Chain A
Amino acid sequence: MMRADAIRPLLRDADLLALRDALRGGGDARTVLKIMASGIGAHDADAVAEHAEILLNEMRRRRLEGESFEERAGLFSDDWRVRARAAASYDRSGTAAAPWAMIDEQMTLAAAGDANEVLDGSLAASALAAALRETSDAASRHLRSALHERWLLLEAGEKDVLDRWNEALRGLLPQLAANGIAAGENGETARLKTLLAACALRGRARLRLSGERASTEVIFSLATAAGAQDDEKKRRLAEEAFDETLAASDTVHSLESSSDFLRAARADLAAAEGGDESAARRLSVRLRTGLLRQHPELQERVEKLSSGFARHPDSKKMSGRLRRLHDVVAAVLMENESNSAERARRLGAAASVAAFGFFSDWRPPAEAAGPLCALAVASGDADPEAYDDDRPMTLIADGATPVHLPFGFLKKFLPLTIEAARRRFEVIANDPKTGSALRAKCAALADVAGRLARAGWRTNRSFGAMLGIRFSPRPGEIRDGMRLHDAVPSGSFAARIAWTGKRGRKMTAGALADDDGAPVGYAAYDPLSRELRGRDLHAVYTLGGVRIGHLSFDECGKRLILGDPDGGFVTAPGVIETID
């Protein structure tokens, strides 16, 4: 793979001399790029130079208009209006104006030098390297051509083209990633940036179909064409230029039916071309009251340029003015698309908050390091009851690496208290028989759960409630010697079990779950056991409230011992009544 910095040594002395002469003589970028392309043996130097010039111009623009990361970081603000502004700013940076813009972004990062140079050698070499690669491969050329053609159809509002356009884009992904690597990125970064650019491009393709941008584009092309009505030569020049840059004539037909305003403007234009002065005047009024009213900041510039047509009949100057007018049109289009994108984005942002909420009524304690967040990665609805055990889940905590676990593993922990879940994760993390990957994940979760338990989440919420997962576990079977865990089977703030014990003592019992997270009974502390027997005693009851045994404790937690302990219970009754 050819890297940008490898081009210069490939040039012959004669090419270097020609290059020097071209630069000294003020040769344009296309000429210089063509010399470079010829020098390194490009098969079609003209095509390579043309493509490289597109890349180079985009790279220069991005370098000059680059935005700081801090500006983009506004996207992380809690205030969505700040985020909206940051998002708009991010869009204007041209992240993915076209597939080649994506390439340029990567190359701009890799390139060095003064952005104000007339022709930056490093940028030129980078552009040339990418252009060579993209124009030398027939399959790649075909894909790019298909992409461009389908893009034009998208502009025309042909919705069934979107899938085919996406397919062409997918075909180009390897090339975009390769360009990133050639420009100095490592493989991981190049792949990621290719992914980001592809997502952005697909979003823009969807945006095209909204029609808003295309309508304005065509209207504006009509506006600029109307400015040259008083001179046939000017009108021809204008139309030629517009055809080159906007391909507006094709889209006019497809969009005529979508806008009464446009249809009327089109009719006026046709009449004006036929010499109907009143139609030309009507068109002028329509355009000023229609499009330009929406862009008052541009109106003055457009009128100033348009008025120059009459004062400079010379075709060369006329052509120059038209090019500048195209810049204005391009600025309008870019702004219009950016605005459309931002309008769509803020609609989505507001809707997502409206649907999922800010959770302002559910805040972690101030001292909490940060609660977990659970996400399921699979198709289907949000009901965990319907989840397959294999469904991947991702747990995210502030400042911690995301942990991925199948739902079947995770669900065993959902009814447990935070502290009980932490202990279980810790046991697994320290079990040498467990695989290293699972041990690492459990260690990370134990760490997060530990922070939450210390922050006051110990008793009244379940691990599942903390994750935001609703669940309703089925009862399990109780058996001698089984391991038991503290649980909150109803989620959060579960009803404790209360009863009046011997001598009128008010007592409570906590829920217990088995290793699968299924509720099996309750445990109640026998408060007088320490006073009379010298040790703590916990009675265990079935879900029906019948005492069946007591707890023993070891390094791994609690176990059920059926039957009464030596010396019997002191205060724990034989039967309890649950009070919701």
Chain B
Amino acid sequence: MPLVLNTHSYRDPVRIFVETILAEAGYSRLAPELQAEAVAALTTEAQKRIGLDLLEAIDRVSLAQFHSLFDGGATNEELAAFFALRVPDLEARLRRSLAGFGTECLRMAKELRDLPPDI
């Protein structure tokens, strides 16, 4: 699984993760627009997977509270405090989610790579 260790300049750790997935899948030299679209699409998907996995860890009341915080323009710190309280093992859960997503992507990419050139 790709595992994010540091995200110095990008601010979005999931995007870093996705860029690594693409590189590992052999898509490190794409046209800029295609690269951007691929990163955007996979970043969205990875974030969804994290969210779907977290739904199993957060009760309904807390989930409603999260959306309320989000819609109310909560700061990053407020949201971080929310997760620290509601999902104590957040980082481990995220790493598992990302691991699953990364494994899934790389496996499909390999299968596609193994196809004959003209398919």
Contacts and interface: CB of A to CB of B under 8 A. Distances in A.
B68 interface: no
Most buried by B among A86, A178, A195, A370: A195
A352 B76 CA distance: 11
Given A377-B1, A377-B3, A170 B111 contact: yes
Nearest to B35: A192
A91 interface: yes
B13 A69 contact: no
A261 interface: no
Max chain A CB contacts within 10 Å: which of B44, B45, B97, B111?
Answer: B44
A381 B79 CA distance: 25
A187 B7 contact: no
Interface string B78-92: 011011100100110
Given A394-B24, A401-B29, A468-B5, A348 B49 contact: yes
Interface residues of B, number: 79
A396 B84 CA distance: 29
Given A170-B108, A354-B79, A371-B9, A191 B44 contact: no
Interface in A1-42: 1
Nearest to A376: B3
Interface string A369-411: 0111111111111100000000010101010011010000000
Interface in B42-71: 42-55, 58, 63, 66-67, 70
Contacts of B115: 174, 177, 191
Name the residue among A188, A203, A210, A382 with the largest chain B CB count within 10 angstroms: A203
B22 to A, nearest CB: 8
B28 A402 contact: yes
Interface stretch (A337-345, A518-526, A546-554): A337-345
Contacts of A378: 1, 3
A202 B108 CA distance: 11
A355 B118 contact: no
A549 to B, nearest CB: 37
B88 to A, nearest CB: 11
Contacts of A91: 44
Given A78-B11, A346-B70, A351 B3 contact: no
Interface string B11-47: 1111111011001110111100110111011111111
Interface in A254-303: none
Categorize the interface residue count of chain A: 35 or more
A200 B41 contact: yes
A350 interface: yes
A229 B76 CA distance: 51
A189 interface: yes
A194 interface: yes
B10 to A, nearest CB: 7
Given A90-B44, A191-B115, A373 B54 contact: no
Nearest to B63: A347
Contacts of B40: 72-73, 75-76, 86, 90
Interface stretch (A110-118, A358-366, A419-427, A564-572): A358-366
Contacts of B58: 347
Interface in B98-119: 99, 101-102, 104-105, 108-109, 111-113, 115, 117-119
Contacts of A375: 2-5, 16-17, 20
Contact of A467 (B6, B50, B55, B109): B6
A164 interface: no
A410 to B, nearest CB: 12
A55 interface: no
A87 interface: yes
B49 A374 contact: no
A502 interface: no
B69 to A, nearest CB: 9
Interface in A462-487: 466-469
6 contacts: A196-B37, A203-B49, A344-B52, A351-B87, A356-B94, A377-B1
Given A1-B118, A187-B119, A375-B17, 7 more contacts: A189-B34, A191-B115, A192-B34, A195-B25, A346-B51, A356-B7, A466-B8
Give 9 nearest A-B pairs by CB, closest first. Answer: A468-B6, A348-B50, A344-B51, A348-B51, A347-B51, A348-B47, A356-B13, A354-B83, A402-B23
